[in-house]
Amino acid sequence: MSRMPWPDYFMKIAHVVAERSTCLRRKVGAVAVRDKRILATGYNGAPTNMRHCEEVGCLRDQLKVPSGERHELCRALHAEQNVITQCAVHGVSLQGAEIYCTTQPCLICAKLLINCQVRAIWYADSYPDQLTEQFLEESGIEHGQLPYPGHD
């Protein structure tokens, strides 16, 4: 019996983290890792002490905002934004970290992760955001889609 490879292990954890999401449209999880150690996790949901979409409904649905557009029109923070916030609150640098996400980051999250000087961004599912790919290519950050075993 062989051990699960590290990338599979961290991606599987990202999928478990996504189960905490309170988003009604898409549940996303992210894990920040450096030297095979988890630095922080995050999922998409409302800011601390605010009501979640599960309680008040989806603002994006109410405003008929299509997926991939107008990210600012949402109660929730993205999973990657919550990873960055957790690191900031606890004084943990993301410089040189790898990020494992259940979904490819949007452009806003990609720009934030670029400025955090992460080393790599791995994701299980793609997302319709061509600019993200262009920015990650230009930044030199290693990135790409990883297969998630047992995930269709």
Residue 141 has pLDDT above 90, yes or no: yes
Q: How high is the pLDDT of residue 124?
A: 95
49-87 pLDDT, tens digit per residue, is 999 888 898 888 888 888 778 878 888 899 999 999 999
Domain count, the chain: 1
Residue 119 has pLDDT above 70, yes or no: yes
11 occurs within a structural domain = yes
Residue 151 has pLDDT above 60, yes or no: no
Residue 92 has pLDDT above 60, yes or no: yes
39-48 pLDDT, tens digit per residue, is 999 999 999 9
25 occurs within a structural domain = yes
Q: 72, 80, 133, 138: which one is catalytic?
A: 80
- Within the chain, residue ranges assigned H as helices are 6-18, 53-56, 59-62, 79-90, 107-115, 130-139
Q: Does 109 carry a binding-site annotation?
A: yes
Q: How high is the pLDDT of residue 80?
A: 98
Please give the model's pTM, rounded to 2 decimal places.
0.91
Residue 22 to residue 105: CA distance in whole angstroms: 18
151 occurs within a structural domain = no
- Which DSSP state fits 77? B
Residue range(s) defining the domain that contains residue 78:
6-145
Q: Does 78 carry a binding-site annotation?
A: yes
Residue 88 has pLDDT above 90, yes or no: yes
Query: pLDDT band for position 18 (50/70/90)?
Result: very high
The mean pLDDT of the chain is: 92
* Closest by Cα among 91, 136, 147, 133 to 113: 136
1 occurs within a structural domain = no
51 occurs within a structural domain = yes
Catalytic annotation present for 55: no
The CATH number of whichever domain residue 139 belongs to comes to 3.40.140.10
